[in-house]
Amino acid sequence: MARFVDNTITFPYRRSLGPVTGAFMTALTERRILGIRRGDDVLVPPMEWDPTTGAELAPDLVEVGPAGTVASWTWVPVPSEQHPLDRPFAFAFVVLDGAATPLLHAVDAGSPEAMRDGMRVAPRWKGTRVGRIDDLACFVPGETPETDGDDAGPAAEPVERMDYLASITYRNPVPASNDRLVEASHEHRLIGLRCPTCGRVYASGNGYCPVDALPLGPEYEIDLPDTGVVTNFSLVTPVQYPGQTETEPFARVFVRLDGTDTMITYSPVVDVPADEVRVGLRVKAVWITDDGEGSGGLFGAWGAFGGWTPTGEPDVDDPDLVNRIF
């Protein structure tokens, strides 16, 4: 049974909403839904440009709803963490009273048997609203709007910006060779896998030769030297995104291990300021005792391997070093 690790990447971004979407979001905090006039029609949600012609629309905003009619729907039996409700619900096109176009939103109806085209629904508002589409928690069957809990009132200022966290989680199987690599690190050993076909030696513990598409089991493991030379590096200036613990610029280095053609990539370097990291720097492995999850590496852990520190030997002067990345 394979072991898996979850890796989540989260990107925060802040967008300015502009005069039309900003007014729509501000109105949501007031428990009102706005559309924009296009000739005799009202588009909901409001847009700055006519989606048919691309022409700019005058900012003639008009309140719609609050109730509306379901035009079509689909049932979501198993909601994910990204869904608006934590229980089974319907995604529905709701044509709000006075609107010409449908708003896509959730309907909390309990079961698919309670859903049908043409059913009437009304908003269920969150008690605390910040100017996002999910201030409108969902729609519920009937004509009467509801509010969850105590009403905290509308936003004090017009809503002009929106913070958003884009997030994706990858679920990766951990190769057995990676677990053995971590075990070896506790003995202060770097191990690699030598492909019997092409002779290449891999230090990453992925468990296969990508050139020959060959799985490499424990019988192909070899010990690797724990000294080498920096061939490339990246200096990272940390952006303070959620989860970033670094505050100062730091380096990630590529090291060719002595007497081999094997690279260890994207590894930390310690005891040397980032602006002194250079190609040709002689380094040796650093062993650490704190090897908690997230200490680095493709699968979240390199065990007790903590990166590299200078050996103090003279730099290697070889212009070909920079051509060694993998």
Kindly tell me which residue out of 5, 130, 155, 195 binds Zn ion, with binding defined by CB under 5 A.
Answer: 195
Contact mark string toward Zn ion, 160..179, x via CB under 5 A: --------------------
Please give the residues from 104 up to 123 whose contact with Zn ion meets the rule CB under 5 A. none
Is residue 212 near Zn ion by the rule CB under 5 A?
Answer: yes
CA–CA dist 201, 194 (Å, integer) = 4
Nearer to Zn ion, 129 or 194 (CB): 194
Angle (CA) 292-257-173 rounded to 5° is 40
Cα separation, 17 vs 161, in Å, equals 5
Closest distance between Zn ion and the C-beta of residue 257, in Å? 18
How many residues at the interface with Zn ion, by CB under 5 A? 6
Which CB sits closer to Zn ion, 41 or 212?
Answer: 212
Ramachandran angles phi, psi of 177, nearest 5°:
-65, -30
The least CB distance from residue 216 to Zn ion, in Å, is: 8
19: enclosing H helix or E strand: helix 18-29
DSSP per residue over 46-88, as a string? --SB-TTT-PBPP--EEEE-SSEEEEEEEEESS--TTSS-SS-
The sheet that has 227-236: what strands, in order across it? 263-268, 250-257, 227-236, 282-287, 305-310
Backbone angles phi, psi at 19, to 5 degrees: -70, -30
One of 115, 191, 193, 209 touching Zn ion (CB under 5 A): 209
Residue 143 lies near Zn ion (rule: CB under 5 A):
no
For Zn ion, the closer of residues 1 and 213 by Cβ is 213
Nearer to Zn ion, 193 or 253 (CB): 193
> Running DSSP on this structure, what letter comes out for residue 179?
H
Supply the minimum distance, in Å, between the C-beta of residue 215 and Zn ion.
Answer: 11
From 33-41, 81-89, 207-215, 221-229, give the range in contact with Zn ion by CB under 5 A.
207-215
CB of 212 to Zn ion, least distance (A): 4
Smaller CB separation from Zn ion, 198 or 322: 198
Contact indicator for 106, 92 with CB cutoff of 8 Å:
yes
Residues 6+ positions from 258 with CB-CB distance below 8 Å: 225, 227, 228, 229
Interaction between residue 216 and Zn ion (CB under 5 A): no
Question: What is the C-alpha to C-alpha distance for residues 110 and 133, in angstroms, rounded to an integer?
Answer: 21
Helix, strand, or coil here: 176? helix
Question: CB under 5 A: which stretch of 45-53, 105-113, 201-209, 304-312 binds Zn ion?
Answer: 201-209
Distance, CA of 307 to CA of 74 (rounded, Å)? 51
Query: In this chain, which of 104, 114, 152, 198 binds Zn ion, going by CB under 5 A?
Result: 198
Choose the binding region for Zn ion from 6-14, 73-81, 96-104, 198-206 (rule: CB under 5 A): 198-206
* Residue nearest Zn ion, CB atom distance: 195
Among 10, 128, 167, 197, binds Zn ion (CB under 5 A): 197
Asked if 223 contacts 190 with a C-beta cutoff of 8 angstroms, the reply is yes
- Minimum Å gap between C-beta 227 and Zn ion is 25
DSSP bridge partners of 123: 139
Binders in 34-73 for Zn ion, by CB under 5 A: none
Q: How far is the CB of 191 from Zn ion (least distance, A)?
A: 17
We find the least distance from the C-beta atom of residue 177 to Zn ion, in angstroms, to be: 14
Which range binds Zn ion by CB under 5 A, 124-132, 206-214, 281-289, 311-319?
A: 206-214
Interior angle at CA 148, CA 142 and CA 153, nearest 5? 110
**Is 263 strand, coil or helix?**
strand
List interacting residues with Zn ion (CB under 5 A).
195, 197-198, 209, 211-212
